[in-house]
Amino acid sequence: MQPPQDTTTTAADRSPHARASDSGPRRRLANAIRALSMDAVQRANAGHPGAPMGMADIAEVLWNDFLRHNPANPRWFNRDRFILSNGHGAMLLYSVLHLSGYELSMEDIMQFRQLGSKTPGHPEYGYTPGVETTTGPLGQGLANAVGMAIAERTLAAQFNRPGHTLVDHYTYCFLGDGCLMEGVSHEVCSLAGTLRLGKLICVYDDNGISIDGKVDGWFTDDTPLRFEAYGWHVVRDVDGHDAEAVKHAIEEARKVADRPSLICAKTIIGFGAPNVCGTHGVHGAPLGGDEIQATREFLGWEYPPFEIPDDIYRDWDARSRGARWETEWDAVLGDYKRAHPDLAREFERRCRAELPEKWSQHAAEALARANERGAKEATRKSSQAALNAYGPYLPELLGGSADLTGSNNTNWDDCTALTHKDSDGNYIYYGVREFGMSAIINGLALHGGFIPYGGTFLVFSDYARNALRMASIIGAQSIFVLTHDSIGLGEDGPTHQPVEHVASLRLIPNLTVWRPCDSVETIAAWRSAIERRDGPTCLILTRQNVAHQARDAKMLQAIERGGYVLRDATSEPEALIIATGSEVELAVDAAQALTERGRRIRVVSLPSVEIFEAQDAAYRESVLPSRLTARLVLEAGATRLWASYAGPKGKVLGIDRFGESAPANALFQHFGFTVERVVAAVEALLSE
């Protein structure tokens, strides 16, 4: 079936405000965005010219009249944050970054979508100066923006003092119909309204078009009413091609301090392209040479591709005012240091993402105490103990749970809820919003000043998976606490028993997965997550109690290497049992039974495959000697990824089917996770 076709043909037909050839100064500045966008997409023969051309007038007003930033220092801490949630419109962002003076040359613009360029097909954090987050999967940029707005307000509550407004910036977000159709937008915008994030201002590109055509066939929500129901301030029916109307709408939004704002801007997708604007044909394809020439004539843009007149560059250039804004803030910081020296040092430490002085010593002592305590408990409880050990030393920890606080144990003794009435909190009750929570956490991490974490059941990581993937792409220090990690959760049955989830998370590049076996490994896992600055961590935790494993000092140090020898034979071992999480206890018990039979067994605990595989070859060989081919791998989950550890002569004992509803002990028996079966499996390997 073909998508519905649009029948309109001219810009004038589509809007009484479609004065595309208007030669006023503001329109010329906006047309520079349009020209760069259509030319870059045409040169790349790929991309999305429609949104940049449609939102160019809005971007010009925002960047030239309101956005406080410094092109010479894109990481200036008190800058306003700008998020392009409809990230397919990347050339809009690249154009304004280039025009306003960021280190993004015309050659970079011309290399749009080319290998190794600063201008990838969607904005990517770390590639392009001035890009605050990676966007493209629709709705998640909006969620990141909510996280950044939470970060700004919470930092302001923690550090601002009478007469010293140190943290004071806005979060602006552009979004489109696709962002609003994605369910994550509901999750995060509902929470943003509840928290009353007054410095979050979003501009909705209401152009009525998505990839398949006119959205009135599949998206007829009353969007303004929807956001008013969330508790947002809504500015309706703004002409997105009228600079004064846009300016007035943003001014109105900035005056509302107790609610986030949505500006509903009516625009024409591909504004200025006379034959295709307003149609889905301009959404995601180059305009073509003839239409580009027609657009130049229609806009009155007389310059060849990739040429911007000097006067337009001068009017866009934000370097001077950006330097002034940062200098003025430096003076505020200087006054703050004199008035509140201790707070200032703490603020600067957190802005630099540095851990507190003597952190390593404290973390080592916490690990030693956990080893001495020797608790038999669920690792979700051990995780809470870790938070109680580390939390008092880390005011940057900002936690939460998706309506499972009592199950995830993500709160700790000094937690204070963050609410619209009390912004000086360190715990967020996210409600049943796993995806939204995870994407918000990414925004918190990217903003800076916090180490964010959030909890849900492991099985519900499916809901949040794309946010976990985005955290890994971005390299955000997001910590995901995922509990009830196997059939060990028991009676709730297969809908809640994760089987394939740990394996699937291990497939995500740059995501570190920890599945600790007891309280000691759990506190070590938390330390690893806190110290990791270049990517996210998943902590996979049990509901059921697990036994403490005895360790000497060497073993304690080895946990941080992701895998280590937990129990060894008194002489040369003849078989290996490799295990993670709750199955380590089973491995140790089976090894003891085998030892009593005269067998020589080494037990290897492998809480983090990713970290273990990052170790040097000599260490890995010392833990898993290649000469030992009788190998049994134990994990109560999918088995396919363990083949390389088992080797051609080994075996994996796992679960490659969905679970059942029954008490945990009965399930482990039913699925063969017993000492007797492990002993028999090892004996069979040795007999071969």
Give the residue ranges of the annotated binding site: 48, 88, 136-138, 177-178, 207, 209, 283, 380, 407, 460, 484, 492, 496, 543
Residues annotated within the binding site for thiamine diphosphate are 88, 136-138, 178, 207, 283, 460
Structural tokens at position 601: 């067994």
339 in Cβ contact with 161 (< 8 Å)? yes
Contacts of 381 (CB under 8 A, 6+ apart): 375, 409, 519
Q: Could you tell me if 356 and 390 are in contact, meaning their C-beta atoms sit under 8 angstroms apart?
A: no
The residues, ordered by sequence, that sit 6+ positions from 667 with a Cβ below 8 Å of its Cβ are 487, 488, 490, 659, 660
Q: Which residues are annotated as a binding site for substrate?
A: 48, 283, 380, 407, 484, 492, 496, 543
Q: Do residues 93 and 131 lie in contact, with contact meaning Cβ atoms separated by under 8 Å? A: yes
Tokens 């001077």 -> residue: 320
521: nearest Cα among 542, 535, 497, 504: 542
Asked whether 356 and 393 are in contact (CB, 8 A), the reply is: yes
**Alpha-carbon torsion 548, 553, 557, 563, what sign?**
negative
183 burial via Cβ count (<10 Å: 0-12, 13-18, 19+) = exposed
What residues contact 375, with CB distance under 8 A and at least 6 apart? 381, 382, 385, 519, 548
Q: Which residue, among 6, 5, 22, 23, has the nearest Cα to 14 in the 3D structure?
A: 6
Nearest Cα to Cα of residue 83 among 113, 119, 122: 122
Q: How far apart are CA 213 and CA 216, in angstroms?
A: 9
CA within 13 Å, CB half, 187: 25
* Tokens matching residue 648: 């051609």
Give CA–CA dist 59/73, Å, rounded: 20
Q: Tell me which of 434, 583, 610, 635 is the catalytic residue.
A: 434
Q: Which of 628, 608, 510 is nearest to 558 (CA)?
A: 608
Write the DSSP assignment of 558-601 as a string of letters: HGGGS-EEEE--SSS-SEEEEE-TTHHHHHHHHHHHHHHTT--E
Across the beta sheet with 575-579, the strand order is 564-567, 601-605, 575-579, 631-634, 651-653
Q: Write the DSSP assignment of 109-168 as a string of letters.
A: HHTTT-TT-SS-SS--TTTSTT--S---STTHHHHHHHHHHHHHHHHHHHH-BTTB----
Known binding-site residue numbers for Mg(2+): 177, 207, 209
Tokens of 537: 């961590």
CB 221 within 8 A of CB 180: yes
Nearest partner of 291 among 31, 569, 39, judged by Cα = 39
Are residues 193 and 231 in contact, defined by beta-carbon separation less than 8 angstroms? yes
Identity (one letter) of the amino acid at 142?
Answer: L
**Has 124 been annotated as catalytic?**
no
Residues designated catalytic: 434
